[in-house]
């Protein structure tokens, strides 16, 4: 087993374990912090796949942006911090059936797949993605950033009105 395979398995186990803490955690702040760990381990998997740009975007956007917005929403919402919030709902049985079916589907596909051959050499995609972000997808990228900024400002205004 190579060092890259060992690193992949460590990151995969870490990602799944942190995701389980996100789903089954009793404390919502701990779940949000476990989400940070999940995002970081996925970024590590991107690095192993020679997708450094996606790893950097994963860290900047998800860990640095989305998770901070989630933490702000948790801190600014008084209902969540109160006692009496139910964690589980009545659809546990249905979700277990769906997850079991998806697990069987994934296992059957992996069982019947052939993995012969070697991986193609990595392609440098960072300049291509950067060029697309500056030309083709500039407007949607800026609209998304303005929308996130408006959501943050709206949360701050709502929190200020509750205190007054």
Evaluate if residue 36 carries a pLDDT over 80.
yes
Least confident of 101-115, 130-144, 147-161: 147-161
- For 41, counting Cβ atoms within 10 Å of its Cβ (0-12 exposed, 13-18 middle, 19+ buried), the class is buried
- 59: confidence class by pLDDT, cuts 50, 70, 90: very high
Instruction: Please compute, for residue 47, the number of CA atoms within 13 A of its CA located in the half-sphere on the CB side.
Output: 15
CATH code given to domain 3-81+124-163: 1.20.120.1200
The pTM for the full model equals: 0.64
Percent of all residues in the chain with a pLDDT value above 70, rounded to a whole number: 90
Predicted local distance difference test score (pLDDT) of residue 84 = 52
3-class secondary structure per residue, the chain: CCHHHHHHHHHHHHHHHHHHHHHHCCCHHHHHHHHHHHHHHHHHHHHHCCCHHHHHHHHHHHHHHHHHHHHHHHHHCHHHHCCCCCCCCCCHHHHHHHHHHHHHHHHHHHHHCCCCCCCCCCCCCHHHHHHHHHCCCHHHHHHHHHHHHHHHHHHHHHHHHHHC
Predicted local distance difference test score (pLDDT) of residue 123 = 76
Predicted local distance difference test score (pLDDT) of residue 83 = 54
Residue with the bigger pLDDT between 36 and 53: it is: 36
Phi, psi of 149 (to 5 degrees): -65, -40
Evaluate if residue 28 carries a pLDDT over 90.
no
Predicted local distance difference test score (pLDDT) of residue 164 = 56
For the chain, the C-alpha Rg in angstroms (whole number) is 20
Predicted local distance difference test score (pLDDT) of residue 14 = 96
Q: CB atoms < 10 A from the CB of 87, how many?
A: 11
Only one residue has tokens 């186990």, namely 13
Predicted local distance difference test score (pLDDT) of residue 89 = 66
């Amino acid at each position: 087993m190579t060092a890259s395979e060992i690193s992949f398995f460590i990151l995969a186990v870490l990602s799944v374990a942190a995701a389980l803490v996100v789903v089954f955690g009793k404390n919502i702040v701990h779940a949000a912090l476990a989400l940070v760990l999940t995002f970081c381990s996925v970024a590590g998997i991107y690095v192993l796949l020679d997708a450094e740009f996606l790893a950097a975007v994963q860290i900047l956007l998800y860990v640095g942006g989305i998770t901070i917005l989630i933490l702000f929403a948790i801190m600014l919402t008084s209902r969540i911090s109160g006692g009496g919030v139910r964690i589980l709902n009545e659809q546990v049985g249905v979700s277990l059936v769906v997850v079991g079916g998806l697990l069987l589907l994934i296992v059957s596909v992996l069982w019947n797949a052939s993995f012969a051959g070697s991986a193609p050499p990595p392609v440098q995609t960072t300049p291509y993605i950067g060029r697309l972000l500056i030309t083709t997808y500039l407007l949607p990228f800026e609209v998304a950033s303005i929308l996130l900024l408006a959501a943050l400002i709206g949360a701050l205004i709502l929190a200020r009105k509750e205190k007054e």
